[in-house]
Structure 1
Amino acid sequence: MKYDVTVSIVNYNNYEKARQAIRTLLEYTHGVRMKIYLVDNASKDDSAVRLADEFSAIGVVFSDKNLGFGAGHNLVLDLIDSDFHAIVNPDIILHSDILAELTGFLRKNPDIGLCTPAVRYTNGDPQYLPKRNPKLKYLIANRTPGKKWENLRRHYKMLDEDLTEVTDIEFASGCFLLVRTELFKQIGGFDERYFMYFEDADLSRMALQIARVVFYPYDYVVHDYARSSAHSLRYLLIHIGSMFKYFWKWRGKAQPLDTGKQKKL
């Protein structure tokens, strides 16, 4: 059966949050035919088995080791038969039929290959996730307090742009995005050289070689976010390693967009 939209959620010892993500996907999605795939990265808490028992309609893919974020999502590449595919973090909470809204939007705009909606914290505050392509100066500014770096931080997070309308962007966060399934397969899914971090920036940049990537501001999802690299030396080192992999891969390659002139729909 071909679906309007397939969804992949990569889980690692995250039963409660993954359960909430699946529950809200099923609760609020009515306007499209949807299939959810849970990819379990060798969890030790039996979360995948528990979720499969609780939600019989989902597909479960078991990995015998923790492959990381992108490689985990790639395990569904040969399984999905859909027009669109959603990458969804286990810490995402839906409050509306956003998948129907976004698939309808993409059907009306065939030049757009990937889109991401607004994202909010659990308290309702916005998360500033549409970004420009990563550069070392942006990443330093993002982690360094003080007004000296504020202009760079704002530029990186596109806070110097009017994002009240659909806007072309360079970097769509992997916490929640919708991509044309054909495009996702054409670019081979995520680059598996990244265990975690920067794989979404890389995917966005790959997609931009073929189609538009846009921010859709008219609806939102909630992201129950914990910044792991800010609290763990291990994740910080993974973050730094992924950063160097990203910069090496894209060294000397032209930007796909003129970042000073973001296109509006």
Structure 2
Amino acid sequence: MESPREHKNPIRYLPFYGCISTGLIYIAVGVVAILSMLRIKQGGADESSLLKYLNDYTWGKVVVWMILFGMLSYIVWRVYESIKDPYNYGSDLKGKARRAGIGLSSIADALIAFSAVVVLIGASDIQEDGRPEQQREMVGNMLQESWGSWVIILLGVIVSGTALVQFFYGITRGYRERMDIAHFNKEKRKLIYFFAYTGYLSRGIIIGIIGYFFIRAGLSKNQEYVVNTDKAFNFIGDHVGLLPFVLVAVGTICYGLFMFALGITYDVDNDPSGTHRSPETEKP
């Protein structure tokens, strides 16, 4: 008799497409950061800039469409996940908070999807060299309002909080309940954990820098403080050092590789059939 895990439910492919698309983006961002350091490429280690660069080529347009499809798939899955609760978080206050967090976590995917749309229709001021002109223009318009600086500060606090969540997620291996890897040997699991730890740490650092400069922009009422991923890398290289820059760039590539692993092993139904052990029962 066919087990639940063998049932070809189309919904189970949504996180696969989303994770693979996310993996492609961050592997490319990490590679571009290293190429920029080596002065082989002039900037562009940013999600939006990467999409803009790809859109200049016929094959690149296909990739942008694929990434857009993947992001939309992951957003749909996240909404489905928060409503259907396949991981049994429950309907108490804690459970609802976790499920709401799942839905809100799709904001980053939505921003990438939005960038893909505006790039495809040619209605953006996104720079291929990584300059955050579009973000700074948006913040500048908001700062003209009496409430603008407070909104920018709040946005910076939220982004900084997201960075802390990235650190926590990587350290506690909170992603394990979504991965069917208990049948993997010890070496494969350790490799996935390494990709996840270094990836989430690196993403947390980049996101934390972005959040910090949003707060500075709000406090100083100066949109020039706003940075994106590319300029966050520059900040590390200019003010922290070359080695940390390389480590974060490599960590960003590791994050992309982890997203590949997550997509391939994504356990969309928390294995109700009991065909493998839960992550909590795995041996490290």
Answer whether TM exceeds 0.5 for this pair: no
Normalising by structure 1, we get a TM-score of 0.30
Normalising by structure 2, we get a TM-score of 0.29
Higher helix share: 2
Q: Which has the higher contact order (CA 8 A, sep 6+)?
A: 2
Higher strand share: 1
- Structure with greater Cα Rg: 2
